[in-house]
């Protein structure tokens, strides 16, 4: 195996584990792109081969749905929903239930990262204004956004990849996983209420959070586009990526909403992370490193062909290198419907285990910190750790029944 491939693999996945390369201003995305560039520059593959390594339909689906989500955010849809939830809740526990249910539903249909980004500031503002402790609502938001995103093949990036590569039925997947997702959401709610029993009250603080002005027309356009996408995803008629790109194209044809603003909300970093990992993983597989890793795992008694082992290894690996890289490493050779479903659910629920386990968690923590609210590793783990273990146990038992 060429030494350059081994070095690139070690460096890139070290960055996946650590979040960045020590001593350099290079995060996970930068490391993945750097690895791809080195492989091309070293002559291991041509530019055309590197582009061919990417799963373009998955990238197209991601991009299209990001544009739809950006439309809803700029149209003030997320802000309106968040404020309506707060206004309609009479009790602290009732507000938590509404927040978690709404976050789960929205995350199943739209990217969970965007949902957390839009809802966190409004929740901090509203809870502090009512004299409530924002932490249970923020942790509940992160937990439910991750859990809800497991319900569909478009709820998060790794599910999109799994659905495209394994060619899973959109409706069939939802029917298979909704019982364990619903049970997980109930467990997360109960765990959050129990974890913060007697600590829902807090100081009253008035904040003024700037948010997009709600527009019925712009939000309506985004919801119509989402509805069209969902109809195609469930009933078919054209490839999913074609439907998402078509809806994105229609939304960009606007006289009022500048395309620059819409495209600025596309997560280009995530798209580049996918692209870089596609290139690196293809060359790693071509060099035989992936097969060697599978053989070593089998030699120590771990049979990834067994559902229990696949579910367990995915959960652990997702908390080491993050869920997207974990899925990219495990998906080759494990794309049967049952295996793909196990990968999707376990990699998503595993993101709740620790604060850095999911980008959605980090978004909530970072947004809250900007407003003076600390959602630390320990505070998150006190609730999230037992909740995640319970949801993984319930989901594993359901999917492997």
Question: Hey, where are the domains in the chain?
Answer: 56-267+287-399
Residues 6+ apart with CB under 8 A from 217: 75
pLDDT at 362: 87
pLDDT at 1: 53
Calpha distance 388→392 (Å, rounded): 6
Rounded to the nearest angstrom, the gap between the alpha carbon of residue 184 and the centroid of all alpha carbons in its chain is 16
pLDDT at 187: 97
Tokens of residue 380, six digits: 């998150």
Rounded to the nearest angstrom, the gap between the alpha carbon of residue 5 and the centroid of all alpha carbons in its chain is 28
Q: Phi, psi (5° rounding) for residue 27?
A: -90, -170
Cα Rg of the chain, angstroms? 21
First to last CA, the chain: 41
Calpha distance 35→389 (Å, rounded): 34
Calpha distance 385→154 (Å, rounded): 25
pLDDT at 107: 94
With the C-alpha atoms ordered 334, 338, 342, 343, is the resulting torsion angle positive or negative?
Answer: positive
Task: Decide: 103 and 145 in contact? Cβ < 8 Å.
Answer: yes
Residues 6+ apart with CB under 8 A from 99: 85, 119, 123, 137, 140, 141, 144
Burial 343-365 (b: 16+ CB within 10 A, else e): bbbbbbbbbbbbbebbbbbbbbb
Cα three-residue angle 148-116-149, rounded to 5 degrees: 20
Exposed/middle/buried for residue 255 (C-beta within 10 Å: 0-12, 13-18, 19+): exposed
Of 159, 339, 147, which Cα lies nearest the Cα of 233?
A: 159
CB atoms within 10 A of CB 73: 24
Residue whose structure tokens are 């620790």: 354
CA atoms within 13 A on the CB side of 255: 1
Of 148, 140, 145, which Cα lies nearest the Cα of 92?
A: 140
Tokens of residue 175, six digits: 């029917």
Strand, coil or helix: 373: coil
Strand, coil or helix: 46: coil
Tens digits of pLDDT across the chain (401 residues):
588 899 999 999 998 888 888 888 888 899 999 999 999 999 988 999 999 999 999 999 999 999 999 999 999 998 888 888 887 767 889 999 999 999 999 999 987 888 898 889 989 988 898 889 999 999 999 999 999 999 999 999 999 999 999 999 999 999 999 999 999 999 999 999 999 988 888 777 767 677 788 999 999 999 999 999 999 999 988 999 999 999 999 999 998 889 999 999 898 988 999 999 999 999 988 888 888 888 888 898 999 989 999 999 999 999 888 888 889 999 988 889 999 999 999 999 999 999 888 888 888 998 899 888 989 889 999 999 999 999 999 999 999 98
Residue whose structure tokens are 């078509």: 246
pLDDT at 90: 73
pLDDT at 113: 85
**Residue 27: beta bridge partners?**
20
């Amino acid at each position: 195996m060429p030494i350059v491939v081994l070095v690139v693999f070690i460096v890139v996945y070290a960055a996946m584990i650590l979040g960045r390369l020590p001593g350099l201003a290079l995060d996970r995305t930068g490391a993945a792109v750097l690895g791809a560039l080195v492989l091309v520059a070293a002559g291991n593959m041509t530019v055309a081969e590197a582009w061919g390594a990417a799963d373009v339909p998955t990238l197209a689906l991601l991009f299209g749905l990001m544009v739809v989500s950006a439309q809803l955010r700029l149209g003030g849809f997320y802000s309106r929903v968040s404020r309506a939830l707060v206004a309609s809740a009479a009790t602290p526990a009732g507000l938590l239930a509404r927040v978690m249910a709404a976050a789960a539903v929205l995350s199943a249909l739209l990217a969970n990262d965007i949902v957390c980004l839009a809802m966190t500031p409004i929740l901090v503002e509203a809870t502090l204004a009512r004299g409530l402790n924002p932490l249970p609502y923020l942790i509940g938001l992160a937990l439910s956004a991750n859990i809800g995103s497991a319900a569909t093949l478009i709820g998060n990036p790794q599910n999109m990849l799994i659905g495209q590569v394994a060619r899973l039925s959109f409706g069939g997947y939802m029917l298979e996983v909704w019982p364990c997702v619903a049970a997980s959401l109930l467990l997360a709610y109960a765990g959050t209420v129990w974890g913060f029993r007697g600590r829902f009250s807090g100081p009253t603080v008035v904040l003024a959070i700037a948010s997009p002005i709600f527009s019925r027309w712009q939000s309506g356009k985004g919801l119509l586009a989402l509805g069209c996408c969902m109809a195609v995803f469930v009933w078919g008629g054209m490839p999913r990526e074609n439907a998402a790109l078509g809806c994105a194209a229609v939304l960009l044809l606007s006289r009022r909403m500048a395309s620059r603003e819409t495209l600025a909300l596309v997560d280009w970093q995530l798209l580049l992370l996918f692209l870089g990992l596609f290139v690196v993983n293809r060359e790693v597989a071509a060099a035989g490193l992936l097969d060697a890793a599978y053989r070593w795992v089998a030699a120590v008694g771990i049979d990834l062909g067994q559902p229990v082992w696949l579910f367990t290894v995915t959960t652990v690996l997702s908390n080491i290198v993050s869920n997207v890289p974990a899925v990219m490493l495990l998906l080759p050779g494990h794309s049967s419907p049952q295996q793909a479903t196990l990968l999707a659910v376990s990699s998503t629920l595993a993101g709740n285990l620790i604060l850095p386990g999911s980008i959605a968690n980090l978004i909530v923590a970072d947004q809250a910190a900007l407003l003076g609210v600390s959602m630390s590793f320990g505070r998150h783990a006190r609730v999230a750790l037992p909740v995640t273990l319970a949801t993984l146990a319930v989901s594993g038992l359901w999917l492997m029944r």
